[in-house]
Amino acid sequence: MADIPTAAISRLVTYLRILETLEAQEIDRTSSSDLAERAGVTAFQVRKDLAYFGRFGTRGMGYTVPLLKRELVRVLGLNQTWNVVIVGMGRLGQAIANYPGASDYRFQYVGLFDVAPELMGREVRGLNIRHMDTLRDFVAAQAQGQQRVDMGFVAVPPDRAQDAAQALVDAGVRGILNFAPIVLQPRTSEMSGQQEIGDEWRGVIVENVDFLAGMKRLAFYILNPHLRVTDTEENE
Amino acid sequence: MADIPTAAISRLVTYLRILETLEAQEIDRTSSSDLAERAGVTAFQVRKDLAYFGRFGTRGMGYTVPLLKRELVRVLGLNQTWNVVIVGMGRLGQAIANYPGASDYRFQYVGLFDVAPELMGREVRGLNIRHMDTLRDFVAAQAQGQQRVDMGFVAVPPDRAQDAAQALVDAGVRGILNFAPIVLQPRTSEMSGQQEIGDEWRGVIVENVDFLAGMKRLAFYILNPHLRVTDTEENE
């Protein structure tokens, strides 16, 4: 398989979102140019992005919305269950736990963690909030019960995000979704040399969701309404 | 100015975030290769992205963290005040209003809106939640008071997001940050032909922040740990 640009993965997610919107509107057929217009890219880009993963649709006939949606769900691994713990159950963690649609995709919250005494034991979506000190044992117990924790969501204040991520990785969680507005560093906090990458971080995948990133991009585009922007990048 | 890829704008936001992290760690100097490693791109890409906006740093000497940060803040328009209204003050809207760091960048919440009777008048960050029916008058009054509403954040459930965005645009708000997991369509809901773009949407800028997008990307990367991904895209 050819190298796949990370931006193509982000666009696949956008196409899937568009297909869901079409499905909700009971629109049954689409085309690369229709998808392109809705996603703000070129039709060529849509066809190229999809071609990384197989042959979808019929030349000249476009795509059947439910079929293409099902294929993208499969490509993205959203037809399988993902067990998730959330670290940080303040407003943000609670908003995440209650965000509509996550359960459509079999993201399954199995544990909620925080350190605030007033949150301990509180029930959110049928789970009781637990103390961070119990995270490692919890993840180990889940693994023994064949309910391996696949992802940890970091929803703590920025100054605690690195430690929260480290605790997840130390507990054996291999996928981190970081909601805090900092760039996580795969470094052990215990090492004096900040440049050392901790072994426990090898193979860990970190993705970032940043509220402020969206605000900043929006500020830029409002400030530069006449700037020519493009969705394709030149070759290096 | 050359065409600027939208992905470059997203990367600028990432570089800024890295510079903030470095500043917090009291690291005063960085280089394109250091920024590149932390952002997961090539040093060439960093230099190219920055070159769209001017000359920063000294050849062979790298960058001074606070200076480069200040330049990126200026490029992104974050040195000016942005007046924001939030539509949807459930858990998500409240999490956004309380998200740490927004006020660092002079994003200033001036109005909070919802339709739920139990939320009316409730105070969040010093503002009382208002009814959506008053949005248009509120935006008009702000404009007369020289406090033009620059951005509207859509934080309502997915099935209400299109209407909320339409209400913002009808009220004259020109920048929309959409937190709902749907693709907003710049179409007037009142027109029978769904393909008509409403005039009121011309020039409106929509950016999306999607919790689920991050989860989906993470699922893909966990599912494909050995896939070769790249941060650069081939030319079309």
Contact: B182, A94; criterion CB under 8 Å: no
Contact: B235, A234; criterion CB under 8 Å: yes
Segment (H or E) for A177: strand A175-178
- Using a CB-CB distance cutoff of 8 angstroms, which residues of chain B are in contact with residue A45? 236
Judged by DSSP in three states, A147 sits in coil
Judged by DSSP in three states, B23 sits in helix
Q: How far is A207 from chain B (nearest CA, A)?
A: 6
Section B138-163 average pLDDT: 94
Contact: A228, B76; criterion CB under 8 Å: no
Please state, in angstroms and as integers, the Cα–Cα distance from residue A69 to each residue in A47, A79, B183, B233, following that order. Answer: 15, 11, 15, 24
Q: How far is A65 from chain B (nearest CA, A)?
A: 15
Looking at residue A1, its pLDDT comes to: 54
Q: Which two tokens stand for residue B73?
A: 């803040």
Give the Cα-Cα-Cα angle A151, A157, A159 (nearest 5 degrees): 105
Contact: A3, B230; criterion CB under 8 Å: yes
Parallel, antiparallel, or unpaired: how do β-strands A123-124 and A107-114 relate?
unpaired
Contact: B77, A222; criterion CB under 8 Å: yes
Q: How far is A74 from chain B (nearest CA, A)?
A: 10
Task: Confirm or reject contact between B188 and chain A (CB < 8 A).
Answer: no
- Using a CB-CB distance cutoff of 8 angstroms, which residues of chain A are in contact with residue B37? none
The structural domains of chain B, ordered by start, are 6-75 (1.10.10.10), 83-111+144-214 (3.40.50.720)
Task: Confirm or reject contact between A227 and chain B (CB < 8 A).
Answer: yes
Q: Is the pLDDT of residue B153 over 90?
A: yes
**Distance separating alpha carbons of residues A198 and B24, to the nearest angstrom:** 21
Q: Is the pLDDT of residue B73 over 90?
A: yes
Looking at residue A109, its pLDDT comes to: 94
Q: State the binding site of B for NAD(+).
A: 88-93
**Distance separating alpha carbons of residues A227 and A233, to the nearest angstrom:** 16
**Distance separating alpha carbons of residues B26 and B193, to the nearest angstrom:** 57
Radius of gyration of the CA atoms of chain B, in A = 20
For residue B67, name the pLDDT band (cuts at 50, 70, 90).
Answer: very high
Query: Between B104 and B126, where is the model more confident?
Result: B126
What b/e string do you get for B78-110 counting C-beta neighbours within 10 Å, with b at 16 or more?
beeebbbbbbbbebbbbbbbebebbeebebebb
Q: How far is B40 from chain A (nearest CA, A)?
A: 10
**Distance separating alpha carbons of residues A41 and A48, to the nearest angstrom:** 11
Q: Which two tokens stand for residue B68?
A: 């480069």
Section B56-84 average pLDDT: 91
Q: Of chain B residues 44-103, which have a CB less than 8 A from chain A?
A: 44-45, 48, 75-78, 82, 84, 90-92, 94-96, 98-102
The percent of residues in chain A predicted with pLDDT above 70, rounded, is: 89
Q: Exposed/middle/buried for A2, CB within 10 Å: 0-12, 13-18, 19+?
A: exposed
Query: Between A27 and A196, where is the model more confident?
Result: A27
In this structure, are residues B163 and B194 in contact, taking their beta carbons and an 8 Å threshold?
no
Looking at residue A189, its pLDDT comes to: 44
DSSP annotation of B134 = G
In this structure, are residues A208 and A178 in contact, taking their beta carbons and an 8 Å threshold?
yes
Task: Confirm or reject contact between B195 and chain A (CB < 8 A).
Answer: no
Q: How far is A50 from chain B (nearest CA, A)?
A: 14
Residues 6+ apart with CB under 8 A from A52: A1, A2, A4, A8
Output the CA torsion B85→B87→B90→B94 (10° steps). -10
Section A180-197 average pLDDT: 62
- Using a CB-CB distance cutoff of 8 angstroms, which residues of chain A are in contact with residue B218? 151, 175-177, 205, 207
Looking at residue B142, its pLDDT comes to: 95
Contact: B95, A99; criterion CB under 8 Å: no
Query: Between A194 and A158, where is the model more confident?
Result: A158
What 3 state SS string does B34-101 have? HHHHHHCCCHHHHHHHHHCCCCCCECCCEEEHHHHHHHHHHHCCCCCCEEEEEECCCHHHHHHHCCCC
Contact: A229, B4; criterion CB under 8 Å: yes
Residues 6+ apart with CB under 8 A from B196: B187, B188
pLDDT digits (tens, 9 = 90+) for B95-105: 889 887 777 78
Q: Is the pLDDT of residue A187 over 70?
A: no
Section B61-69 average pLDDT: 93
pLDDT digits (tens, 9 = 90+) for A134-153: 999 999 999 998 899 999 99
> Of A16-30, A80-94, B98-112, which one has max mean pLDDT?
A80-94
For residue A85, name the pLDDT band (cuts at 50, 70, 90).
Answer: very high
- Number of A/B CB contacts below 8 angstroms equals 264
Amino acid sitting at position B126: G
Task: Give the nearest partner residue to B175 out of A25, A102, A218, using CB atoms.
Answer: A218
In this structure, are residues B184 and B178 in contact, taking their beta carbons and an 8 Å threshold?
yes
Residue A69 has φ and ψ, to the nearest 5°, of -60, -45
